[in-house]
Amino acid sequence: MKILVVDDSRIMRNVLKNILKEKQIDENAILEAGNGVEALEMLKNNEVDLILLDWNMPKLNGIELVKIVRNHERLKEIPIIMVTSEAARYNVMEAIKAGVTDYIIKPIRGEIVHKKLEELLGQ
Amino acid sequence: MNVKYINPFISATINTFKGFLGADLKTEKPSLFDSNKSEIRYDISGIIGLAGEVRGAVVISFPKLVALKIVSDFLKEDIKIFGEDVIDTVGELVNIIAGNAKRDMEEFRIVISLPSVVKGPNHQISWMQGVPVILIPFKSNYGPVYLFVSLKDII
Ligand SMILES: [Mg+2]
């Protein structure tokens, strides 16, 4: 199993990685990307089972990446949890329309991420 | 001063510190900020531009030692270098504050920029010409935290 963590903040990627490790997810199963372009590169070269995705990032943002993934034959079924500071309802709606599977608003709590993981991956 | 649109930023800052660090902030009296007259000291700022139906900026600033304490606490590691980790954390803090403040201003569709971070003793911030800047000081266990909000036309 592989989980791709996408955020332009390295600190936030580390926070998410630590939350995943608390769920006994192996360090080697976690891939990282600092923007949508890097994420696409990762997705091209790996079989990814879940994406944790920030919205506001340089080069290619989270919403743009969701749209690309959802239109991609091999990638379109991958669950995507948007993990973002964007807390307005119209943003949540926009993300759902673009095709995110779930939505977590920063600041994040470990328990919330764990709960979503259980729902999506059954663990 | 129309505090109606300051409050979402105050709540977002308090909630962000609580959620991010488990820290309690105490809000002090907001005032109109004049960089020529102000006596506050800060060494690092995280800046987010607001566009869409509201234009302006939200800025969070800290003295160097306060920023180092915050980042050390967050990373659970003694951070002494005023470098990349501090810049990253301050940028993400202001990003979370701006994104969360939008929840209480849903009558406006607002687009937030990527954060930029500026360092240097009492560095200048290029505010929008002719738009008032409100300073909201907070007290915390780390020391002073300064929030600046400047919103065109609505405050
Ligand atoms: Mg980001």
Q: Residue A123 — pLDDT band, cuts 50, 70, 90?
A: low
Which one of A10, A13, A14, A56 makes the best mutation probe of the B interface by having the most chain B beta carbons within 10 Å?
A: A56
**Residue A57 C-alpha to ligand 1 middle, in angstroms?**
5
Residue B59 DSSP SS3? strand
pLDDT on residue A48: 97
Q: What is the pTM of this model?
A: 0.96
**A10 vs B contacts (CB less than 8 Å):** 84, 88
Interface confidence (ipTM) of the complex? 0.95
The rounded distance, in Å, linking the Cα atoms of A96 and B14 is: 28
Closest to B25 (Cα-Cα) out of B127, B135, B144? B144
Residue A106 in contact with partner chain B when CB distance is under 8 A: yes
Is there a contact between A11 and B99 if contact means CB atoms under 8 Å apart?
Answer: no
Contact between residue B54 and residue B123 where contact means Cβ atoms under 8 Å apart: no
Task: Tell me the pLDDT of chain B averaged across its residues.
Answer: 95
Q: Helical H runs in chain A?
A: 10-22, 36-45, 62-70, 89-98, 110-121
pLDDT on residue A87: 98
pLDDT in tens, A77-89: 999 999 999 999 9
* Helix pair angle (B7-21, B84-101), 10° resolution: 130
From A11, A87, A88, residue closest to B85, measured CB to CB: A11
Chain center to CA of B111: 17
Contact between residue A21 and residue A51 where contact means Cβ atoms under 8 Å apart: no
pLDDT in tens, B9-57: 999 999 999 999 999 999 999 999 998 899 999 999 999 999 999 999 9
Domain of residue A108, CATH code? 3.40.50.2300
Is there a contact between B103 and A89 if contact means CB atoms under 8 Å apart?
Answer: yes
CATH of domain B3-153: 3.40.1550.10
pLDDT on residue B1: 53
> The domain containing residue A82 runs over which residues?
3-121
Domain count, chain A: 1
The rounded distance, in Å, linking the Cα atoms of B81 and B107 is: 42
Task: Spell B117-131 as b/e; 16+ CB within 10 A means b.
Answer: bbbeeeeebebeeee
Task: Tell me the pLDDT of chain A averaged across its residues.
Answer: 96
